[in-house]
Amino acid sequence: MDITTEMNRASDNAPINALIELALNLRWSWNHAADELWNQLDPELWEATQNPWVILQTVSRERLNGVASEPAFQQRLDQLIQRKRRREQSPGWFQRAHIDPPFTAVAYFSLEFMLSDALPIYSGGLGNVAGDQLKAASDLAIPVLGVGLLYQLGYFRQIIDGQGNQRALYPFNDPGQLPIRPLREKNGEWLRIAIDFPGYTLWLRTWEAQAGRTKLYLLDSNDPANLPAYRGITSELYGGGPEVRISQEQVLGIGGWRLLRALGMKPEVCHLNEGHAAFVVLERARDYMTQTKQPFDAALAITRAGNLFTTHTPVEAGFDRFSPQLMDRHFRHYVEDLGISMRDLLALGRQNPADESEAFSMAYLAMRGSGAVNGVSRLHGEVSRRIFQPLFPRWPQVQVPVDYITNGVHMPIWDSAEADELWTAACSKQRWDGDLAHLERNLRSVPAARLWEMRTSARKSLVEYVRKRLARQVAANGGSTEEINQAERVLDPNALTLGFARRFATYKRPNLLLHDRDRLLEILTNQNRPVQLILAGKAHPQDLSGQDMIRQWMEFIRKTSARSHAVFLSDYDMRLTEHLVQGVDLWLNTPRSPWEACGTSGMKVLVNGGLNLSELDGWWAEAYSPDVGWAIGDGLEHDDDPAWDAAEAEALYALLEQEITPEFYSRDGAGIPAGWINRMRESMARLTPQFSANRAVREYTKKHYAPLAAAYWQRCSDGKTAEELLNWNREILQQWSKLRFGSLQVKTERDHYIFHVPVYLGELTPDAIRAELYAEPLDGDEPIRRPMDRREPLAGAQNAYHYTAEVAANRPAEHFTPRIVPYHPAAFIPLEAPQILWYR
C-alpha cells in the first residue's frame, strides 16, 4: 500500500498529511526550506536522492510517526505548510500587473517536461525549457498549466563501460513511486480519456503533478483495458518509429485537450512547445464545432486565434513528418468528425496541397493553426523565417511571420547554495517573483572578495561531488581498488575548472577540443596554470557517431596524463547538470552555427558566477560582449567544413592559452583575480536577469498570451467577426488573381518622393486589401512599409483607384516598390492570408 492510500485512510494524522502535501509539490526542487525535515527522516537516503517523495515512500511508518510526533519537528512542519498555503493563495506578479486579468489559463503542451529527476519524463533542451517555464510561471502566479505524457521508461539512462562504450538502460518508472496523483472523477473513479485508434479505442489514464502554483497533467496509455501493443505507446520518450511517434502526438494533442475539457477547463491560449503538439489544433477546433455547431473552417478560424506555436528546430528536416498512408490510417474516421475530407486535412500539413505524395508536416499544421509563431532566439528567428519561407512565397524573408522570444532558465533551480546566499543578501529572497529591474544595480554592489569566496566554495563543492560520483562509476565498471582510490583524488579545487555537458551529436561538435590532443594536454597539465575539464553527455542509442565521440573522450582520458585533469561522468541528468553549472568557472559550447536554436546550458552558469566560452550561435549571439565572456566563430554558416572546424579549434586553444587561463591566475595582493571578477560581475549583473525564465515568461505573457487571448475572445464571443473573416478570406482566395497595377509614376518634390499608381481591384472590395510602398531594410533596420492612400476612382474603369504615398527622399526612388497585401483588422497577416502582389 502506498503512502497516498494511507493518507486517505488516516486523514486524522495531520503531520503525515502535511509531509505528503509538501512532498507532492515539486517546489521543493527549487525551494529548500524543508530540506532539514527530509534529512531528519533519513539522512543517508536524502543525501543520495534529494527526493522527498522517495523518503516518504521508503522510511518505515514507525520512524515516520516517531519523528512526526516530535514538537520541534511539528512546529517547523506547521510553519512550512502555512507559508506554502499563504503563497499559493496570495496574488503574484501577474495579479499585481493586471487588475483585470487578460486570460484565465494558458495550456502548455510539450512532449517532455524537466521538472525534477524525481519525475524522469525528459530528454534535454526541449524539456528543460518547458519545465523551467512552468516553474517561472508559478513564481509569477501566471495561470499556466502543463500537458504532457507519463512515460513508463522515459528517456534512456546511460552507462559507459571501461572501454568507453555507451550502454542504454530503461528502468521502469513506477507511477506509485513518482510524485504524482491519479486524477479522479467526483465519484472517485479514475479519470480516463478515450481516443479512437485504427480499429480500436485507446484508453488513457490521467495524472497530476504539482510544481508550486502550477499543475502538470500527464496522460498514460498503460491502461489494462488496452491491447498490449497500445499499452506501450507512452513507454519511451523519442523511442520507436513513425507509428509510435504519431500515436504519442495524438495522445498529447487530442488526448491532452480532451483531458482539459473533462476537468472543466477551457484555456484561452494553447502554447504548442514544438510541432509535436500540433494535433491539439484539430481537437480544439473539433471541440468548438461540437459546442457551437459551426463548420470546421469557422471553428479553426476562431480557435487558431488562441494558439501559439514555438519552434525549437534549426533545420527543416528536424520537423516530424508522416506519410499520407499513415495519416489516413490514423485519421480516416477523425476527419468525419471534422466534416472535411482527408485531402483537406493533409493540405493543412503540406507545402503544396495539390501534391498527394507529399508527407504531412506537424510544423506546417502548427503554423496554419496558430495565431502567432516564434523561434527561441534572435538568430533562430532568422533561421526559422528561412525555413518557413516556402509557405509564404513572394513575401520577403524578413516578413515571414516568425517572431522570437529568447529562452531563459529558471535561476532558482540552478543556483548553488553559495550563490543563493549571495543573491539573497544583495537582492532579497523574492528576487525572482516579480520584475527584475533592480537586480543589475544591486548585484554590482557586491564586493570582489565576496564574489570570489562564492566561486571558490562552489568549485570545491563540485570537486567533492565529482570525486564521489566518479568513484561509484569506476566501481560499477569493475575498477580496481587503486582505480577507485585514484577517482577519489581527481581534480584540484583551486584549478580553473571547465564544464562541457550536452547531447553528443555531430552538429554540437563535442570533440572540437580534441582536434589537437597534444595541445589540449599541454593546457590541462600546465604546472603553473593547471586547467581541468568535466564532461558529460548522452548520444542517442541510434546515433553511432555520437557514441564514437564519447569513446574518443574516454580514450583520451584513459590513455594520457589527462586522467587527473579531465573526467567524463556518465548518465547526464538534471541533478548532474545542477552540480556542474553551480561549480564550473567556464562553460564551453561548440555547436556548428546556426544549428543551436538557443541553447540553455550556458545560461545556467550565469547565476553562479560562471563564464561562457561559446560559438556565436543561439543565445550567445545576443549575449556576448568582450566584458562578459569569450566567443569563437563569426556568426556565419560554414556547414561541416573541416578547415573551418580546424580554425575554430585553434581559436579555442588560443583563447584558453593567451586570455582565459592567464586572467584566472592573475591575482592581486589579496589573492583575487581582479580581471576575472570584473568579468564575472558584468556577466552576473547583466546576463542573469536577461536570460532568466522570469523574463521569458513575462515576455510571452505580454507579447503573445494576452494578445492571443483577446483575439480569441473577440472571435468566439462575437460570431460576426468570425463570419466576416471567413467571407473576407473566401473573397481573397477567389478574386486575388484579378488584381493588377497600372503604370507607376514617381515625382520628386524638394526632399520627398510622391508615388502614384492605379490599382485595378477586379471584384475585391477596396477594404479587403492594403496598398503599400515597401523598401528592403538597410543595416539591420526594419523594412519600410508606408501605406498608400486610396484616392479618386480611375476614370473609365470599374472598381479601380489611384493610390498615392509620399516618402522622404533619403534613399534612391527605385528602392521603393508598391505592393498589395490582404487586409482585415482582425486577421493575422500573412499567417491567414499569404497572398501578395508586387508592382514588379
Choice among 386-390, 523-527, 566-570, 714-718 with the minimum mean pLDDT: 714-718
Is 12 a residue whose pLDDT tops 70? Answer: no
Beta-bridged to residue 498, according to DSSP, are 533, 586
Q: What integer is the mean pLDDT of 74-97?
A: 94
Q: What integer is the mean pLDDT of 86-91?
A: 92
Query: Tens digit of pLDDT for each residue in 50-60?
Result: 899 999 999 99
Query: Tens digit of pLDDT for each residue in 194-219?
Result: 999 988 999 999 999 999 999 999 99
The DSSP secondary structure of 197-259, one letter per residue, reads ETTEEEEEEEEEEEETTEEEEEEE---TTS-HHHHTTTSBTT-S-HHHHHHHHHIIIIIHHHH
Instruction: Write the single-letter amino acid at 313.
Output: T
- What is the model's pLDDT at position 246? 97
Model confidence band, residue 494 (pLDDT cutoffs 50, 70, 90): very high
- What is the model's pLDDT at position 636? 87
Q: What integer is the mean pLDDT of 467-475?
A: 94
Task: Output the 3-class SS for 172-185.
Answer: CCCHHHCCCEECEC
Is 224 a residue whose pLDDT tops 60? Answer: yes
Indicate the burial class of 680 (C-beta count within 10 angstroms; 0-12, 13-18, 19 or more).
buried
CA-CA distance, 606 to 414, in Å (whole number)? 9
- What is the model's pLDDT at position 2? 44
Nearest alpha carbon to residue 462 among 586, 576, 563, 570: 576
Query: Tens digit of pLDDT for each residue in 576-591?
Result: 999 999 999 999 999 9
Beta-bridged to residue 441, according to DSSP, are none
Q: What integer is the mean pLDDT of 261-280?
A: 97
Query: Tens digit of pLDDT for each residue in 786-839?
Result: 999 999 999 889 999 999 999 999 999 999 999 999 999 999 999 999 999 999
Is 715 a residue whose pLDDT tops 80? Answer: yes
CA distances (Å), 797 to each of 599, 766, 800, 802, in order? 57, 14, 6, 11
Instruction: Write the single-letter amino acid at 59.
Output: V
| Superfamily classification of domain 437-690 | Glycogen Phosphorylase B; (3.40.50.2000)
Same topology, domains 93-407+706-713 and 736-838? Answer is: no
- What is the model's pLDDT at position 219? 98
- What is the model's pLDDT at position 252? 98
- What is the model's pLDDT at position 11? 47
- What is the model's pLDDT at position 13? 80
CA distances (Å), 828 to each of 275, 368, 717, in order? 20, 11, 18
Pairing relationship of beta strands 106-109 and 144-149 according to DSSP bridges: parallel
- What is the model's pLDDT at position 3? 43
> Chain-wide mean pLDDT for the chain?
94
Cell of 485: 582510490
Q: What integer is the mean pLDDT of 67-82?
A: 92
CA-CA distance, 578 to 569, in Å (whole number)? 13
Q: Encode 527-560: b = buried (16+ Cβ within 10 Å), e = exposed.
A: eebbbbbbbbbbbbbebeebbbbbeebbebbeeb
**Count of Cβ atoms closer than 10 Å to residue 443 Cβ:** 21
- What is the model's pLDDT at position 1? 35
Is 320 a residue whose pLDDT tops 80? Answer: yes
- What is the model's pLDDT at position 640? 86
The structural domains of the chain, with segments of one domain joined by +, span 3-89, 93-407+706-713, 437-690, 736-838
CATH of domain 93-407+706-713: 3.40.50.2000
User: Topology of domain 736-838, per CATH?
Assistant: Immunoglobulin-like (2.60.40)
Q: What integer is the mean pLDDT of 154-173?
A: 91
- What is the model's pLDDT at position 68? 87
Is 551 a residue whose pLDDT tops 50? Answer: yes
Choice among 2-6, 296-300, 480-484, 592-596 with the minimum mean pLDDT: 2-6
Q: By 3-state DSSP, what share of the chain in percent is helix, strand and coil, each rounded to 5?
A: 45, 20, 35
Query: Tens digit of pLDDT for each residue in 384-421?
Result: 999 999 999 999 999 999 999 999 999 999 999 999 99
